[in-house]
Amino acid sequence: MTDSSRHSPVEDAQGIAFGVTMAALGMHILTHMGFVTGQTTGIAVLLAHATGLPFPTVYFAVTLPFLGLAWKRLGARFALKTLASTAALSALVAVLPGWVQLGAIQPVVAAVLFGMLFGIAALAAVRHGGSFGGLSVLWIELQDRTGFPAGTAQLISDAVIFGLAALILPFDTLVYSFLGAAVFSLFLTVNHRRDRYVAA
């Protein structure tokens, strides 16, 4: 008898594939518009800008150091799904510009789109036992070791990323970037409710 409260491997695969696709579209819009965002994606954007290296390569490299910590805290299953997700996402982001060529997009529309796409992508990954890598695991570890709130650490790290971005981005681009990050956060706040979602 199957456990209806858990996803099957096929369901996990299609859920993560959906999340990877939505995240890649969001990143395609993000880089096309020259926006920045928080967490590891924002770090990768800044490093790619500073070094001239391809964004997909930098993004994958930035996520790698957190995999060991994810393995320790959340187990091998989560870490391996995260590795597969970030590898697939990096590859798709690299090839997507050749498949989907973007033109002019109103900045407000672009910000809302990438925020919503990031949100639904993150939700899909988490609901199927993975993630796209990130600083959140590090901040949870910090909270456990020191008592410093993980949410506060996340806010501080994002503020630092946007502060650094302010040194290299035009003010209007920074504002639109912040709007996209706010849409992303709001989307997760409203929709990531475990009491409304039973399967895992």
* Domain count along the chain: 1
Q: Is residue 61 part of a domain?
A: yes
Q: Is residue 198 part of a domain?
A: no
34 and 179 Cβ atoms separated by less than 8 Å: no
Smallest Cα–Cα separation from 43: which of 53, 75, 97? 53
State if pTM tops 0.75. yes
Query: In the prediction, which pLDDT does 65 show?
Result: 82
Q: Is residue 4 part of a domain?
A: no
Q: At what angle do helices 55-63 and 76-99 cross, to 10 degrees?
A: 180
Q: Is residue 3 part of a domain?
A: no
176 and 33 Cβ atoms separated by less than 8 Å: yes
Q: Is residue 1 part of a domain?
A: no
Q: Is residue 26 part of a domain?
A: yes
Low-confidence stretches of the chain (pLDDT beneath 70):
1-5, 7, 136, 139-140, 150-151, 192-200
- Phi, psi values for residue 134, rounded to 5°: 165, 170
Query: In the prediction, which pLDDT does 63 show?
Result: 87
Query: In the prediction, which pLDDT does 200 show?
Result: 42
Q: Is residue 2 part of a domain?
A: no
For 38, the domain range is 9-193
Query: In the prediction, which pLDDT does 198 show?
Result: 44
Q: Is residue 101 part of a domain?
A: yes
Query: In the prediction, which pLDDT does 123 show?
Result: 83
